[in-house]
Structure 1
Amino acid sequence: MLDKNKVSVGITPTCWTNDDSPLLGNDISFGQIVSEMALAGYVGCSIGHKFPSDDDEILLELGRRGLRVSEPWASTFFTVNKMHDRTIEMFETTMKRIKYLGSDIMVVAELGHAVHQQGYPPVANKPVFSEDQWKALTEGLNTLGKIANDAGMTLCYHHHMGTGVMFRPEVDRLMNETDENGVHLLLDTGHLYWAGDDPVKLAQDYATRIRHVHLKDIRQDKMEEANAKNLSFIEGVEEGVFTVPGDGAIDFKPIFDALGNADYAGWLMVEAEQDAAKANPLEYAMKARKFLRDVAGV
């Protein structure tokens, strides 16, 4: 059982709007998003494109609602030639900002050659890294992990559809070839399930290295339809592949058990990339919050 005194439950803005497809939920304001997050019973959130550019305004508006920032997204490009130094520079800039906003988590994903934003079917068209690219990635992540540790932050790697670290063997390789003290794992249940792998097994195998969790569920019929039609990642999102935990095909109870047995401490982030016109964000946010109380005990 998860210890509710060690776990914070948050939600991402993707239930309302989408950074990869900004027209989804474009009519929904920042104020509505954060107010409904608080109304649904969450204590934190990640930052989305609807958020103000002024960090003090973000802190003010979140504070008024009893919310705090859980994480940023920081893209890495270590597998792209001549992007090593620029990637580190971008990471340090984002880390400085997120630390000011009160978070100690840095979420990263390698987007070198990724296809999830380019309109290609993610499974068939994902990049496959060469040995040199793997070396550049793992060494680069080790560097970021040390930078994060020195700043009192925790680096968590996000496996992601349409990227070079998408399938379970790629997650395994990344974990095996990086420093376990500096590079931790973000478990994203929906991304791994869509990739055809088992999020329960990943949670069980890496429970002690998981430091951040994104909770997505999958509508099985929509996923199978997206794969059969060779839809892009964004098209799959628009068609409703993702939903909130408890509303789809994934069995979350053994995932929560594995994390609880490892004395998990950190964020559980509800993340359902959905079209708000098809799935009312507040309704689904409340549904997910109830599910986590009932099933995870938090």
Structure 2
Amino acid sequence: MKAKLGMSPIAWWNDDLVELSDDVSLEECLRQSRSAGFTGMEKGRRFPEDPAVMLPILRAADVTLCGGWFSGTVVDEELAANKDRIAPMIELFKAVGAPCIVYGEVGRSIQGRREVPLAQKPRLGEDEMKDYARRMTAFGEWCADQGMPLSYHHHMGAVVETETELDAFMRHSGEGIPLLLDAGHLAFAGGDVLRAIDNHHARINHVHVKDIRREVVDGLDRDRQSFLDAVALGAFTVPGDGSLDFGAIVQRLADHGYEGWFVVEAEQDPRKNPPLEMARIGYKELMRVMDAAGYTVETQGFPQG
């Protein structure tokens, strides 16, 4: 089985908490992640929007674009509005050979609102979830028809956060909307990562290997503290520096035949947790568990020829 290892630039620059950002260029971010061993990088705010500009930067760094976040509002807005907003991103991602667009639902979400505590996350009733899942399926099918599949990101503070909510979303949606499995977000929400893989492996097309610091997560006052408070306190980190058993997680994905990207997305303070150092820790741990699970990790970055 083959696997590819990527990173998210959120370790260097945080889009929601600017104070948790290192003042490094895109080129330096790519250089550091590639020197640690990673061959892919998801899109961040310092990436150019023109493929003619982005491709030479990726080529020079020997890194491929392995995904990127789209802030969707399907829960509240018409599909047409989301189609209009995502269309340029689809064309960009096709032009640079990205595997998928990460769909993050921001409608009603509190994930970017530091003044709103975790306990006040939005919740959908059963009928609302059915309708939302149906519309997300249609949106995912439309994006795939344009030549770029989505990967649905369950997320803290959003309408699909908990394992129960994820199960309901998956039950009412169809194959047209694949799943991004994020170990850190699911564990933060109190879910069982291995059970979620068992239940939904057939739809997983992208994986975020985000770790958590259990003592931080368990110490939160969810009636008073927000998701961004948790990030600032260090709730997330890279594999090998946190509390999750990535040996078991990666093995379970291998058992179900998952092949594709494993992306380290670990937002934390780069001054306390230098990104290059953390990238090396994450890569070392992932290579250890990948080898144990029988994966062959691809070492080529930017496609040749």
- Normalised by the size of structure 2, how large is the TM-score? 0.90
Distance 1:66 1:100, change over 3 A: same
- Specify the alignment match of 1:207 in structure 2: 201
Between the aligned partners of 1:200 and 1:247, the Cα distance in structure 2 is 19
Q: Give the CA deviation at 1:132.
A: 5.2
8 Å contact from structure 1 (residues 76, 108) kept in 2: yes
Distance 1:22 1:54, change over 3 A: farther
8 Å contact from structure 2 (residues 117, 222) kept in 1: no
- One-letter amino acid matched to 1:20: D
Q: Does 1:264 align with 2:254?
A: no
- Specify the alignment match of 1:157 in structure 2: 152
- Specify the alignment match of 1:220 in structure 2: 214
Distance 1:285 1:26, change over 3 A: closer
- Specify the alignment match of 2:228 in structure 1: 234
- Single out whichever of 86-95 and 60-69 deviates more from structure 2: 86-95
1:65-87 deviations in Å (ceiling 9; x for gaps): 2100011211221222x443211
- One-letter amino acid matched to 1:243: T
8 Å contact from structure 1 (residues 116, 122) kept in 2: no
Aligned to 1:75, the other structure's residue is in SS state strand
Between the aligned partners of 2:262 and 2:221, the Cα distance in structure 1 is 28
- Specify the alignment match of 2:91 in structure 1: 96
Q: Give the CA deviation at 1:265.
A: 1.6
- Specify the alignment match of 1:79 in structure 2: 75
Q: Give the CA deviation at 1:145.
A: 2.1
Between the aligned partners of 2:201 and 2:127, the Cα distance in structure 1 is 29
8 Å contact from structure 2 (residues 73, 82) kept in 1: yes
- Specify the alignment match of 2:166 in structure 1: 171
- Specify the alignment match of 1:67 in structure 2: 63
Between the aligned partners of 2:198 and 2:240, the Cα distance in structure 1 is 19
Equivalent residue in structure 2 for 1:50, among 35, 46, 49: 46
Aligned to 2:43, the other structure's residue is in SS state coil
Between the aligned partners of 2:220 and 2:266, the Cα distance in structure 1 is 16
| RMSD of Structure 2 on Structure 1 (CA) | 1.8
- One-letter amino acid matched to 2:245: D
8 Å contact from structure 2 (residues 94, 147) kept in 1: no
Between the aligned partners of 2:177 and 2:117, the Cα distance in structure 1 is 25
8 Å contact from structure 2 (residues 179, 204) kept in 1: yes
8 Å contact from structure 1 (residues 119, 233) kept in 2: yes
- Specify the alignment match of 2:302 in structure 1: none
- Specify the alignment match of 2:14 in structure 1: 18
* Mapping 1:247-262, distance limit 5 Å: 247-262=241-256
- Single out whichever of 274-283 and 107-116 deviates more from structure 2: 107-116
- Specify the alignment match of 1:9 in structure 2: 5
Q: Give the CA deviation at 1:30.
A: 1.5
- Specify the alignment match of 2:102 in structure 1: 107
Equivalent residue in structure 2 for 1:146, among 141, 144, 156: 141
- One-letter amino acid matched to 1:128: R
- Specify the alignment match of 1:277 in structure 2: 271
Aligned to 1:226, the other structure's residue is in SS state coil
1:35-58 deviations in Å (ceiling 9; x for gaps): 101111111111111223433222
- One-letter amino acid matched to 1:30: L
Equivalent residue in structure 2 for 1:40, among 36, 39, 51: 36
Between the aligned partners of 2:261 and 2:50, the Cα distance in structure 1 is 24
- Normalised by the size of structure 1, how large is the TM-score? 0.92
Between the aligned partners of 2:273 and 2:22, the Cα distance in structure 1 is 14
Corresponding residue pairs, total = 292
Between the aligned partners of 1:54 and 1:125, the Cα distance in structure 2 is 38
**Structure 2 gap ranges (5+):** 292-296, 298-305
Identity of aligned residues (%): 35
